[in-house]
Every structure is written in structure tokens, then in C-alpha cells.
Structure 1
Amino acid sequence: MWRQEHPDAQLAPVPGDMVTAPASGLDPDITLANALFQLDRVAAAWARDTKRNAAPLRAEILALLQQQARAPLGGLAGEPMVNVLAINLELRKRYGAPSA
């Protein structure tokens, strides 16, 4: 119905779990595609908060995401997933808590 009411709205393709997964925060896993979609925004925020250069920080976060990505059933089924809680804890350990 929304699309019918806004036929001229510009839409961008996004990973499916960004729009279908619940945002309750109870399940800390998102697809790697979802994490990569948000990578530039996340790296920019960490760079701003820690007063670091965004480009190398982005590369470090990308490497961390790739290192931490795990596919369900040992890679036999499903898309690679990352645990956002584990990623955020590792980022805090490496760079300190972001300023509020």
C-alpha cells in the first residue's frame, strides 16, 4: 500500500534482513551483506568518535567482519552471518567507547 501511495519514491536495494528481521535486539546476528551495507556509516561514526581517519578504520572493520562471518551449519546452508554484539565489543576493545 505504501508503494502505491508513493509511486515516485526512489528505492534502493537493501539486504533482505534489513527489512524483514525484527529489530528487537534479541538476536544479535545479521547477514554479512547487511553489515557490509552499513559499513561506511559505521566506519564514519567510529572515525568521528575516535578522531581517526575513516579509510583505514573502514578497512579494519571490513577485515573484522570478514574474519567473524560464519555461515549456518558450518557453511552448508544460508548466508554468512555476523554477530553484531561481538563486533561492537571488539570495536570498543580496539578503539575505546565512542563518545556520547
Structure 2
Amino acid sequence: MKKTKIVLLIVTMWLFSLTIHAETPADTKVCDDWASKAGSYMLFRQMNTPIHKAMENAMGNVTRGLLLSAYQQSVAETNEGKQQAIDNFKNQTYKDCISQMQ
């Protein structure tokens, strides 16, 4: 879990290293987009999609880093657990993105 957070932090820091501070609607749109990708990638993980198949949907190093972060998480046993894992990953990605904007 610690490694996942470090990888996710590095990915988000790299992604937004050139972004100037300003939380505008455009900035939150960027974070919404990344959160949506994170949700999709965690859905792949929770559905036990082979990583090589999931990689077909990840273009670029940053999105692949996010995908790899999702795949470092365990697969939940229940549907509720799977949904919680998806929501948590998505929300954390959004929070990390917003914090990079500040």
C-alpha cells in the first residue's frame, strides 16, 4: 500500500509539475478526467482483467503509472468491496490531483 501511494504521488507530481497554481473549473476538469481514468483502471483490476489487456487502454507513461498503481491493489472478494476499492482509488486520485494544483 505504501509503495502504491508513493508511485501514485510520483505520477501525479510529474503530471502536474508544469501546472501553475490556480484551482479553476478547467483544473477541476483535469482532475475529474484523471479520477475517471483511475476508476476505469481499478474496475479492470477488480474484474481480474489481465494487466496486458488493461495496458491496451493506457496510453503514455503517466496513465500507465496510474494503471500499475491500481494493479498493486488486491482484488476484493465481494461486489461491495470491489465498488469500495474503485471509489477509494478514484477519490484518492482526485484528491492527489487537486493537491498538486494548490
Q: Normalising to structure 2: TM-score of the pair? A: 0.32
Which structure has more relative contact order (CA 8 Å, sep 6+)? It is: 2
The structure with the greater share of residues assigned to helix is: 2
